[in-house]
Amino acid sequence: MDWHIIIAAVIKIVVFVFLVTLPMVAMSVWAERRVSAAIQDRVGPNRVGPFGLLQAVADGIKFLLKEDFTPNHVNKFYFWLAPALTMVPALLTCAVLPFGSQLFGEKMVIADLDVGPLFVFSIASLTVYGIVLAGWSSNSKYSFLGGVRSTSQMISYEISLGLSIVPLIMIYGELNLGRIVQEQAINGWALLPLWGEGLSLKGFILAIPIFISFIIFTTSMFAETNRLPFDLPECETELVAGYHTEYSSMKFALFFLGEYAAMIIGSGLAVTLFLGGWSLPFGWLAPSGIDAEIPWWHGLIHIGTYFAKVIGFILFFIVVRWTLPRFRYDQLMRLGWVFFFEIALFNVVLTAILLAIFK
Amino acid sequence: MSFLFYIFSALALVGGIGVVVSRNPVSAAFSMIVSFLGLAALFIQLDAFLVGTLQILVYAGAIMVLFLFIIMLLDVREEEKRRRPIINMIGAGGVVLAFVALVITVLSRGEIGKATLPPLTVTEGPGTSDVHRIGELLFSQYWFPVQVVGVLLLVATVGVVVLSKKELK
């Protein structure tokens, strides 16, 4: 192992995870409040800094300075562990997302694994422990019900989430996210095959199963991140605040931020798989191959494109939250097991048949 | 990178000891997850990315969640107070000693660890990852066992559905 590989990895981790993703988490809280205000015909936070942009800093200071209260009836060890367990997996999954093509000959991905989407799913499946342990260790019935709801919800939707991307993997024959994006840059994004080899009968017909996948993937992502219309684990009209009822100050904030971090990673994965990741539309400035040399300013544009797409997707998440009402729990489970699971399975078979017809 | 090996095997061992030692069933289940994570890291160190990821995805991410789910519905305090009879401990100790003796005998006698394996040919580029190789093997050389396992799992699923229905109509 050479030192320059380790140093490059450390720089990428610090810049991508700590200097970009974490501030994005804070900023998406601000965006959520501003967008919700706009939808409800209010103004929203606009006092701290220009357009209220520094509201996130004020919120952070407030959370840190508040009294950190641990109730007497909780299981101390797991009560302290749970908030960390929701935040850490969300940030770990950043490792395999390609957030740009190359910069100075260095691939813009922290770990260029050949099992990209599987890695994201496996680490994201650990997020559930944070919520379950929070619900259990709080020793209160509302928290516990929230934790139980969240467990069954996340396990159910993990299945449709995993199955929904199988057609995509069959079409690309590849589990390396970097190579999937490179393929999309040249031959059309999975959802918009409008250039390169995608501009053909095969490309258009294969876009049908991909579109079904996209719908299932996005909806399951809402359920996995516990966001409205699927935020049953913290449903305030029934469960006070669900699994984080007993939490206060920074420990509560970690749950809150973990949800947004999971949302950002989910958006990143959706953009990477379905909307061409860092690539510009119509093959503009697309590198000819995964290892082809490109000028540094192309690399910067690719990084900018990726984050622009992710921000667009986060805004979509936020608008959905303030538009749709909450589901009932049995409706949520029926949607997951009776509709999405079957449609995703059918979609895999459909893709296999289409791939056999258009070799 | 051998220090990583020691860290992760220590993690797996500590988790394993935790499963046996902890009185609280939730702690035991949690130690098991830690042990699985250590194992997965060891697999990944051997460049077996698929096996390592599946270890986390299936065992730590799905099966142990269900374990924890059931344990949490039980009364944990009751379990913590329960006394274990001394005869159980002697029996368990005997089993452990017999197993350790077995492992030592097998490892010291056979050619395991001494035989030189043929060097692995590492190739770069698409279609050469361990995912591709395992997939190709499963669906060419081992297609029949895969089908049999698939049918078995289907039978198990149908069986669970039938058993969990309260009354048959």
The answer to whether B26 faces chain A, any CB pair under 8 Å, is yes
Q: What is the pLDDT along chain A (359 residues), one digit of tens a residue?
A: 578 888 888 888 888 888 888 888 888 888 888 888 888 888 888 888 788 788 888 888 888 888 877 788 777 888 888 888 888 888 888 888 888 777 777 777 888 888 888 888 888 888 888 888 888 888 888 888 888 888 888 888 888 888 888 898 888 888 888 888 888 888 878 787 777 777 777 788 888 888 899 999 999 888 888 777 777 767 667 777 777 777 877 888 888 888 888 888 888 888 988 888 888 887 777 777 777 777 888 888 888 888 899 999 899 888 888 888 888 888 888 888 888 888 999 999 999 998 888 87
Least confident window among A132-136, A215-219, B101-105, B158-162: A132-136
**Residue B94: predicted pLDDT:** 93
pLDDT of residue A112: 80
Structure tokens at B151: 């049918």
ipTM of the predicted assembly exceeds 0.90: no
Beta bridge partners of A103: A106
pLDDT, position B66: 83
Is B118 in CB contact (< 8 Å) with chain A? no
Reported confidence tier of residue B150, pLDDT bands at 50, 70, 90: very high
Distance CA A160, CA A219 (A): 10
Express each pLDDT in B109-136 by its tens digit.
766 666 666 666 655 655 567 788 888 8
Per-position DSSP letters for A115-129, written without gaps between them:
THHHHHHHHHTTHHH
Chain B residues within an 8 Å CB radius of A163: none
State the Cα angle at A300 between A296 and A305, rounded to 5°: 145
Per-residue model confidence (pLDDT) at position B125: 57
Would you say B50 and B131 are in contact if contact means Cβ atoms under 8 Å apart?
A: yes
Q: Taking a C-beta distance cutoff of 8 angstroms, is the pair A202, A358 a contact?
A: yes
Q: Which residues of B touch A179 (CB under 8 A)?
A: 126
CB contact under 8 A, A174 and B60: no
Residue B40 has pLDDT above 80, yes or no: yes
For residue B110, what pLDDT is reported? 66
Looking at the DSSP assignment, which residues form a beta bridge with residue A107? A102
Cβ partners under 8 Å of residue A127, min gap 6: A85, A86, A89, A90, A154, A258, A262
Whether residues A128 and B49 touch (CB distance < 8 A) is answered with no
Determine the pLDDT at residue B114.
Answer: 65
Interface membership of B122 toward A (CB under 8 Å): no
Please answer yes or no on whether A122 and B129 come within 8 Å at the CB atom: no
Tokens found for residue B90: 């002697």
Please tell me which of B84-93, B94-103, B112-121 the model is most confident about, judged by mean pLDDT: B94-103
d(CA A232, CA A153): 9
Class of residue A305 by CB neighbours under 10 A (exposed 0-12, middle 13-18, buried 19+) = buried
CB contact under 8 A, B130 and A1: no
Q: What is the mean pLDDT of chain B?
A: 83
CB contact under 8 A, A115 and B50: yes
Return the CATH number of B1-81, one of 1.20.120.1200, 1.10.3470.10, 1.10.260.40, 1.10.3720.10. 1.20.120.1200
pLDDT of residue B115: 66
In chain A, where the domains are located: 68-357
Q: Hey, which residues does B33 pair with through a beta bridge?
A: none
- B29 and chain A in contact, CB less than 8 A: no
Q: Give the three-class secondary structure for A271.
A: helix
Q: Sorting pLDDT into bands at 50, 70 and 90, what band is B167?
A: low
> B41 pLDDT exceeds 70?
yes
d(CA A349, CA A329): 30
Q: Does B54 touch chain A (CB under 8 A)?
A: yes
DSSP string, B74-86: S-HHHHHHPPPPH
CA distance A22 to A29: 11
Residue of B nearest to A125 (CA): B61
Look at residue B120 in the predicted model and tell me its pLDDT: 62
pLDDT of res. B127: 59
Q: Phi first, then psi: what are they for A13, rounded to 5°? A: -60, -50
Interface of B with A in 127-146 (CB under 8 A): 127, 129-131
Residues of B in contact with A151 (CB under 8 A): 65, 68-69
- Cα distances (Å, whole numbers) of residue B148 to A85, A239, B151, B154: 38, 46, 5, 10
Residue B126: list chain A partners with CB under 8 A.
173-174, 176, 179
Distance from C-alpha of A56 to C-alpha of A42, rounded to nearest angstrom? 19
A123 contacts in chain B (CB < 8 Å)? 56
- Chain A residue set in contact with B, beta carbons under 8 Å: 1, 78, 113-115, 118-119, 121-123, 125-126, 128-129, 132-133, 136, 144, 147-148, 151-152, 154-155, 158, 173-176, 179
Which one of B72, B76, B130, B160 would you mutate to disrupt binding with A, by most A Cβ within 10 Å of its Cβ? Answer: B72
Give the tokens for residue B100.
Answer: 């350790």
Q: CA dihedral defined by B123, B124, B126, B131, rounded to 10 degrees?
A: 60
